[in-house]
Structure formats: structure tokens, C-alpha cells
């Protein structure tokens, strides 16, 4: 994964940040929106694109465009830097292939331990009943 080439494929848009502010908020577009077109990217193979679209499906639009926004800082440049770092971390995590689960059996001692605690619990509850005459 070539970070510089990936960053060149990104599109940015600066918009006015929402929420409360002051005299400064209505004049400056400090919020940064990051757009990344996954399907038209040249940096990933088809398998990687499928893996990313599967792992990031909650963050993708219907057109397979990844949209991130950042308005944490008052500086547009700082927000752009934060959104790029988030994007790179998201891509890195999206490319991870999950390990296959190996089915295991519980050990004999753990089964015995569970049954013993069940018996103790049942015995304790049996004293809560009304005595039979």
C-alpha cells in the first residue's frame, strides 16, 4: 500500500462547521470532508477492493465512496491531517483478513467443574422451598 499515491486519490471539501461558535464560526470553512472512490482506485487489486468494501460497508455510500469528516480543530489544515490519518488507519484495518476460527472442545475438568457448580447451586436453592409435611 503506497500512502502517497493513496493520498493523491483523495478528494477534499472544506465546509462550514455546524454547532455553536462565535464570531469566527460563520466566516471560516474549517470542517474538512474526505472523499475516496473505492471502485475507481488504482492502488488496490480487485480482491483488495472486495475485501475493503466488505469490511467497510457501513462507512461506504451506495456508490462505494468512503466519506469521512473532521471538525475537531479550528484549523482546516489540522482537520485535513486528522482525516488523512483516520483514512489510512481505516484502510489498514480494512485490509486485515480475519483468522479462521479453530473449533475446540471444552476440557474434561472444565465440564466437571461446571456440573459441580450446578449441583451446588441446585442444593442451595433446594433449601429455599417450603418443607414438606
How crowded is the C-beta side of 73, counted as CA atoms within 13 Å?
11
Phi first, then psi, for residue 65 (nearest 5°) are -110, 125
The CATH number of the structural domain formed by 3-94 is: 3.30.160.20
Q: Which residues contact 67 (CB under 8 A, 6 or more apart)?
A: 33, 34, 35, 59, 61
The cell numbers describing 51, all together, are 475485501
Domain boundaries in the chain? 3-94
Nearest to 83 by CA among 69, 64, 65, 93: 69
The one-digit pLDDT tens for each residue of the chain (133 residues) are 788 888 888 999 888 877 666 666 667 788 899 999 988 888 889 999 999 999 888 888 888 899 999 988 888 899 999 999 999 999 999 988 888 999 999 999 999 999 999 999 999 999 898 887 7
Residue 43: is it exposed, middle or buried by C-beta count within 10 angstroms (0-12/13-18/19+)? middle
pTM: 0.69
Amino acid at each position: 500500500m503506497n500512502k502517497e499515491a493513496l493520498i493523491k486519490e483523495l478528494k477534499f471539501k472544506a465546509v462550514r462547521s455546524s454547532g455553536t461558535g462565535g464570531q469566527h464560526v460563520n466566516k471560516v470553512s474549517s470542517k474538512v470532508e474526505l472523499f475516496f472512490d473505492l471502485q475507481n482506485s488504482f492502488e488496490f487489486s480487485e480482491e483488495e477492493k472486495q475485501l475493503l468494501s466488505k469490511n467497510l460497508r457501513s462507512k461506504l455510500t451506495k456508490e462505494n465512496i468512503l466519506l469521512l469528516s473532521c471538525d475537531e480543530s479550528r484549523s482546516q489544515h489540522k482537520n485535513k491531517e486528522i482525516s488523512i490519518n483516520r483514512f489510512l488507519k481505516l484502510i489498514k484495518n480494512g485490509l486485515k483478513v480475519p483468522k479462521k476460527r479453530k473449533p475446540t472442545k471444552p476440557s474434561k475438568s472444565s465440564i466437571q467443574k461446571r456440573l459441580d457448580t450446578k449441583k451446588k447451586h441446585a442444593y442451595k436453592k433446594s433449601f429455599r422451598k417450603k418443607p414438606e409435611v
